[in-house]
Amino acid sequence: MAGLGVVPGEMLRDFVVLGELSLDGTIAAVAGVLPAAIGANAMGRGLICPAACGPEAAWAGGGMEILAPRSLIAIANHFKGTQVLTRPEPALRQDAGSLADLADVRGQESGRRALEIAAAGGHNLLMAGPPGAGKSMLASRLPSILPPLMPRELLEVSMIASIGGELSGGKLTDRRPFRAPHHSASMAAMVGGGLRARPGEASLAHHGVLFLDELPEFTPQVLDSLRQPLEAGEVVIARANHRVSYPARFQLVAAMNPCRCGMAGEPGQSCARGPRCAADYQARLSGPFLDRIDMRIEIPAVTAADLIGASASEASAAVAARVAVARAIQAERYERISTGAVGINAHCGAALIEQVAAPDAAGLRLLQDAAAALKLSARGYHRVLKVARTIADLAGSEEVGRAHLAEAIGYRIGGERVLAAA
């Protein structure tokens, strides 16, 4: 257009331009406009992008010039001055529909407690139990007790969603991501890849939750591909001639049955295929993968008494309030002592957690005994400390005491009990 003299070329030099031109002259939406806008802003340039992406680009900064025309003619008219485009407004999506509430879950007190701790500290959680006990139900209620994204997190999450083409209408949301891929997911779908090195579920769950239901049904390769992001908080996709890295600091929540028929270890039930059934099923999960899970709990079947006579369970709002307080305590602590990269207990490095979760004398004895008896890995040891720190934060305690550690150790061995019962 500049070559034809329709648009003044020298004015275009101050802009980064992106969009997809249709044959009829309209400009179709493209992925990745938010990071492009932030990049353009950093270079001191303006941005020309498709109309549908305008609200997304507007988040990049109040000072920069943003043009979001519907068609090529609209740009020409804008530069001619006959029809000047207005700057798009940044839009926040008002999530319609309320989230599923924890009040619906009857009984399952220990499951609810574990979910609260996991939400407060951002810990990885594995729930095992017979069919229909409420595992999927509990996990799907996690978003209702998590605090909203902080402004800095919101921008990071939105940039990934933008690149993944997942920002509907160019609007951002402050709800934490909750991704629940089906167990048929491929490696590329999970950690990213494909022709344009798109971000995968692990990255789309950044600062939120990655929920893997029916965990052993995922292929072992896909699960093991999560090992590196679980530790490093990012995914590196290597291609023949370039590498892309996407942030992937998510909280892993998983649910599983103890064996294929689901009844192993249930009182009064027996598994037709004996111990092999559970052993084969659980062998699909690798040791290193399980080692990265901070909390493992059993979700027993609910009894009829729980369902019929039980008084109403606590609603999500009350739990969310306690989680918010515990998160505020953590944010304040890490603001004070660390360089800002850490905001919650789960993200602490080894040295930092040893500093902030140093147990009292009684706690230390318990920890030593447990570490020896359970043959805790170094990672396991630090993960126990992190969970104990969160339990103490929920209790409003400055010190990490014996009771906090005992509960944290209980969550660490929960899984071993499940495995042993089989």
Side-chain half-sphere exposure of 94, counting CA atoms within 13 A: 1
Task: State the nearest-atom distance from the C-beta of 316 to ligand ATP, in Å.
Answer: 14
Please give the distance of CA 44 from its chain centroid, rounded to a whole number: 33
Residue among 252, 349, 322 nearest 292 (CA): 252
Instruction: Determine how β-strand 234-238 pairs with β-strand 243-247.
Output: antiparallel
Q: Decide if residue 77 touches Mg ion (CB under 5 A).
A: no
Three-state secondary structure call for residue 254: strand
Q: Decide if residue 136 touches Mg ion (CB under 5 A).
A: yes
Task: State the nearest-atom distance from the C-beta of 250 to Mg ion, in Å.
Answer: 20
Residue closest to ligand ATP when measured from CB atoms: 134
Task: State the nearest-atom distance from the C-beta of 304 to ligand ATP, in Å.
Answer: 11
Residue closer to ligand ATP (CB basis): 101 or 234? 101
Residue among 413, 408, 380, 384 nearest 395 (CA): 408
The amino acid present at 51, given as its one-letter code, is A
DSSP 68: -
Residues touching Mg ion, count (CB under 5 A)? 1
249 touches, from Mg ion, ligand ATP, none (C-beta below 5 to 8 Å by class): none
Q: What is the binding site for ligand ATP (CB under 6 A)?
A: 105-108, 129, 131-137, 255, 257, 302
Residue closest to Mg ion when measured from CB atoms: 136
Residue closer to Mg ion (CB basis): 77 or 136? 136
Residue closer to ligand ATP (CB basis): 261 or 406? 261
Please enumerate in sequence order all residues whose Cβ is within 8 A of that of 327, keeping only pairs 6 or more positions apart, or say none. Answer: 120, 147, 344
Task: State the nearest-atom distance from the C-beta of 276 to ligand ATP, in Å.
Answer: 20
Take residue 87 and report the two structure tokens written for it.
Answer: 């700057």
Three-state secondary structure call for residue 385: helix
Residue closer to Mg ion (CB basis): 211 or 289? 211
Report helix angle 378-394 to 402-421, nearest 10: 120
Residue closer to ligand ATP (CB basis): 115 or 357? 115
Task: State the nearest-atom distance from the C-beta of 215 to ligand ATP, in Å.
Answer: 11
Q: Is the dihedral of CA 142, 148, 153, 156 positive or negative?
A: positive
Three-state secondary structure call for residue 238: strand
132 touches, from ligand ATP, Mg ion, none (C-beta below 5 to 8 Å by class): ligand ATP
Residue closer to Mg ion (CB basis): 68 or 259? 259
Task: State the nearest-atom distance from the C-beta of 261 to ligand ATP, in Å.
Answer: 11
Where are the alpha helices (H) located in 185-286, listed in sequence order? 187-191, 201-204, 220-224, 227-232, 274-282
Residue closer to ligand ATP (CB basis): 20 or 109? 109
Task: State the nearest-atom distance from the C-beta of 383 to Mg ion, in Å.
Answer: 25
| Pairwise CA distance, residues 367 & 274, whole Å | 35
105 touches, from ligand ATP, Mg ion, none (C-beta below 5 to 8 Å by class): ligand ATP
Interacting residues with Mg ion (CB under 5 A): 136
